[in-house]
Amino acid sequence: MGNVSQTGNNRRVSGLLNPSRSRRSWVEFLIEKALLAAGLFAVIFVVLIFAYIIYEAVPFFLQVNPLEFFLNIVWRPDSPTNPQYGLLPSLWGSFFITVMALAIAVPVGVVTAMYISQVARKLERSILKPLIEILAGIPSVVYGFFALVVLASVLSTLFGEAVVTRLNALNGAIILAVMALPTIISISEDSLTAVPKEYKEAALALGSSEWETLRNITLPAAKPGVLTAILLGFGRAIGETMAVLMATGNSPLLAFNPLQSILAMTALIARDFGEVAIGSTWYHSIFAVALVLLIITLLVNWVATSVVSKKIGWRIRR
Amino acid sequence: MLVDDDWLKEFLIQEDFKALPSVISVRNLNLWFGSTHVLKSINLEIKRNRITAIIGPSGCGKTTLIRTFNRMCDLDNARVEGEILFDGYNIIGDDVDVVELRRRIGMVFQKPNPFPKSIFENVAYGPLIHGVRSKSKLYRIVQESLERAALWDEVKDRLKDNALSLSGGQQQRLCIARALAVNPEVLLMDEPCSALDPVSTAKIEDLMLDLKESLTIVIVTHNMQQAARVSDYTAFLYMGELVEFGPTSIIFERPREEKTKAYITGRFG
Amino acid sequence: MQVRKRYYQELANLTKSVIKMGELAASLIDIAVLSLANKDASLADKVLTEAARIDDYELRIEETCIQLIVRQQPVADDLRAIISYLRIIGDFDRISDLASNIARITKQTLDKPLIKPLIDIPRMSKLAQEMIRCTLDALEQSKVLECVEKLSEKDNEVDALWYQVYRELVSMMIENPRVISDATDLMLVARYLERMADHACNIGSRLIYMFTGERRKLQ
């Protein structure tokens, strides 16, 4: 008996030591490395872009005092006599339209998300959700064109005399709001839907009405997700180029009137790059602006993801 | 008399079921999800200050049944026909004030589900939405409720802590305290111990026995031993039908129906 | 925090009622033998009515034990206690039945004087009662081992007394066949008392099992 079982064992062991082993592990090795390469590819690109932008921006800061860059309120790099490289107008322009866009998009987006996730019936949801996703898929140039042709006219008839320039900050902000909506809606909606059903049931079982439940329980529980949505919407808006370029009029002024033309950083980069001589101070100044923009977007993304990870941590603890 | 006989009175006096006041009377209740007939002609009396257990295999409709008692079935898109009498009113119907109904019939769920807020806020939530504004009164309600749920001593120094930092058993007792804070007349418990360890389970069972002095409890459980331990009356539900209903001692000692016997002995099918 | 308070309360109550039943059974022995010695019909009747109460106790305690098993799923010492109680009450019931038998003999022989003064029989009765009380004390104080010693000792005494009574009555019957009927009655009474002592020993074995989990037969 003992012998028989032992030979059985031996056979099995020799099966484990099959010669095909090395080939299989070779394939495993290849696949593993291929996956690593694919993963690294994206990382390498990010690093390369960052390095390149820094590399091109450094000469600018050698020629122009960084203090002047950050504090000067005039952007006139094309002046042959006294070129001025002030970041403030475009930085302000970007923030101005982004904040206005969010002021419109956040309430609309969050309320829509609340409606879709909590109130809407199945049929409504199955119509609304794809529609909003289509909104995300429209090319930005189409939005820009719409703002340039239709929205601008509507605004000038609406506000009449108050309109300083036909293409203005408000025009850009509205179109940016529409573009940020899908992001805000779909991420808030996900996080609202992800609020455990148990919370809602507990609140309802205590005798809260639907609205009390949504306001006191569901929304606070989904808050990290909604914050993430807002931050990603912010990132979407501040990084948008084409629609802003087409909608805002692009005059590099420090304007506080929403009905006046402004110049956003993205629009500045896109506009000025067409006419600049490679290697000039102006050329390098554009990279400096791009660096600032890149840092802002990275910051926003980092904050957004850290909020998301906090939310996930919270979920796991449950 | 050689020995005094008073103790004899203490045990095994079979109470008169018919003479006890009913809190909830279910009359010919039918419920459908879409075209699936989930509850079939249920008739059931829930007696005041007693614990009624509803047992049965998974999917027999026991959770669905107690969710009709506080109209949580509304959330499940169920179609309900029949009568559930509570305080003289049929609570199946569109004209019922569901909010008030749910205040008077509280519920504790299968998984402990405290809100991700502080312990205090969890218990104070109910009174707050029902209009209690005074700080001192809120504090008193919170303390009373936690005491009734036998949790006060464990949490009195950490009311500001997040409720999710409590253990599973404590969380479930917190949920009971939260339900008690609005002073309900009936407490529905939907498998309240299925996610808990044996010691926490025993604590909650003790708690239920304490609570039945002041309110009526309906518990759904898939743990027959638990039903045997805590309940006064047991209803056995099978495939949406009420197979047998009676005093727990009788259901578990000498059930009348073959199906009940097969289920409680574990010889099902 | 102590959990399952009610269950332990119920168990404690059960123990108390078993003890009460035992006390009742022990007192019945005394009354039965007294009724025989004094030819007192009212005492005999009292034994019979109290024996009915013993039956009542037995039924209720049994029902309580069943309920505890069904509803509380006892294990370990709780389970051993409940199973032991179920059997102990049977012994008590037998003891009360035997006492009733003595009372019935009293009632049948009310008009006849005793053929001899009772000496050994009351001693047996006293011993049997002591044995029962001893088991009850053991149960109450959870001290079984001291009791076991006493039980075997006293059982031996009872056995010796029974043998003495037996020989005495047999010789009386041989001397005077007219007393055969009465002597047989007395012999039965002695026999009953000896059986009671045996039941007390049984209870002792049950208690050993209950407290230690060991199975030991007391002789």
A-chain residue closest to B129, CA distance:
A208
Top-level CATH class of C2-212? Answer: mainly alpha
pLDDT mean over B103-126: 87
Question: Is pLDDT of B13 > 70?
Answer: no
d(CA B170, nearest CA chain A) in Å: 14
Cβ of B182 under 8 Å from any chain A Cβ?
Answer: yes
Whether residue B220 contacts residue B189, with contact meaning beta carbons closer than 8 Å, is answered with yes
Cβ of B106 under 8 Å from any chain A Cβ?
Answer: yes
Cα distances (Å, whole numbers) of residue B134 to B100, B103, B137, B148, B183: 21, 19, 5, 21, 17
| pLDDT for the residue numbered A312 | 45
Cβ of B38 under 8 Å from any chain A Cβ?
Answer: no
Six-digit token pair at C119? 């000496």
Query: How many Cβ pairs closer than 8 A exist between chain B and C?
Result: 56
Please give the mean pLDDT across all residues of chain C: 89
| pLDDT for the residue numbered B3 | 42
| pLDDT for the residue numbered A2 | 42
Summarised one tens digit per residue, pLDDT across range A144-176 is 999 888 998 898 888 888 888 888 889 999 999
Boundaries of every domain in chain C? 2-212
pLDDT mean over A45-49: 90
Sign of the CA dihedral B64, B67, B69, B74?
A: negative
pLDDT mean over B105-124: 87
Cβ of A43 under 8 Å from any chain B Cβ?
Answer: no
Please give the mean pLDDT across all residues of chain B: 84
Question: Is pLDDT of A264 > 80?
Answer: yes
Q: Which positions 195-234 of A are in contact with B (Cβ < 8 Å)?
A: 196, 198-199, 201-209, 212, 216-217, 220-221
Give the confidence band of B10 by pLDDT, cuts at 50, 70, 90.
very low
CATH topology of domain A75-317: MetI-like fold (1.10.3720)
Residues C71, B229: C-beta atoms closer than 8 Å: yes
Summarised one tens digit per residue, pLDDT across range C58-97 is 888 898 898 888 888 888 888 999 999 999 999 999 999 9
Question: Is pLDDT of B9 > 70?
Answer: no
Summarised one tens digit per residue, pLDDT across range C138-163 is 888 888 888 888 888 899 999 999 99
Summarised one tens digit per residue, pLDDT across range C88-146 is 999 999 999 999 999 999 988 888 888 888 888 899 999 999 999 999 998 888 888 88
Q: Which positions 113-142 of B are in contact with A (Cβ < 8 Å)?
A: 113-117, 125-126, 129-130
Cβ of B249 under 8 Å from any chain C Cβ?
Answer: yes
Which of the pair, A16 or A140, is modelled with greater confidence? A140
B18-27 residues labelled b (16+ CB within 10 A) or e (exposed): eeeebbbebe
What value of ipTM does the predicted structure carry? 0.83
Question: Is pLDDT of A316 > 50?
Answer: no
Residue A192 CB-half CA count within 13 A: 26
Residue A249 CA to residue C177 CA, distance in Å, equals: 142
Please give the mean pLDDT across all residues of chain A: 84
d(CA C169, nearest CA chain B) in Å: 33
Question: Is pLDDT of B1 > 50?
Answer: no
Cα distances (Å, whole numbers) of residue B166 to A27, B160, C84: 49, 12, 42
| pLDDT for the residue numbered A17 | 61
Q: What whole-number percentage of chain B has pLDDT above 90?
A: 6
Interface test with B, best of A119, A206, A218, A310 (most B CBs within 10 A): A206
| pLDDT for the residue numbered A14 | 53
Six-digit token pair at B268? 């099902």
Residues A205, B115: C-beta atoms closer than 8 Å: no
Residues C60, B202: C-beta atoms closer than 8 Å: no
Give the confidence band of B269 by pLDDT, cuts at 50, 70, 90.
low
| pLDDT for the residue numbered A4 | 44
d(CA B84, nearest CA chain C) in Å: 30
pLDDT mean over A15-24: 66
Which of the pair, C196 or A275, is modelled with greater confidence? C196
Boundaries of every domain in chain A? 75-317
Cβ of A95 under 8 Å from any chain B Cβ?
Answer: no
Residues B228, C17: C-beta atoms closer than 8 Å: no
Residues 6+ apart with CB under 8 A from C94: C195, C199
Q: What whole-number percentage of chain C has pLDDT above 90?
A: 39
Summarised one tens digit per residue, pLDDT across range B203-262 is 888 888 888 888 999 999 988 888 888 898 999 999 888 999 988 888 888 888 888 888
pLDDT mean over B28-33: 88
Give the confidence band of A75 by pLDDT, cuts at 50, 70, 90.
confident
Summarised one tens digit per residue, pLDDT across range A95-151 is 999 999 999 999 999 999 999 988 888 888 899 888 988 888 899 899 999 988 899
Question: Is pLDDT of A317 > 50?
Answer: no
| pLDDT for the residue numbered B4 | 47
pLDDT mean over C160-184: 90
Question: Is pLDDT of B98 > 90?
Answer: no
pTM for this structure? 0.74
Question: Is pLDDT of A314 > 60?
Answer: no
Residues A202, B115: C-beta atoms closer than 8 Å: yes
Cβ of B49 under 8 Å from any chain A Cβ?
Answer: no
Give the confidence band of A218 by pLDDT, cuts at 50, 70, 90.
confident
Cβ of B67 under 8 Å from any chain C Cβ?
Answer: no
Residues B2, C71: C-beta atoms closer than 8 Å: no
| pLDDT for the residue numbered B219 | 93
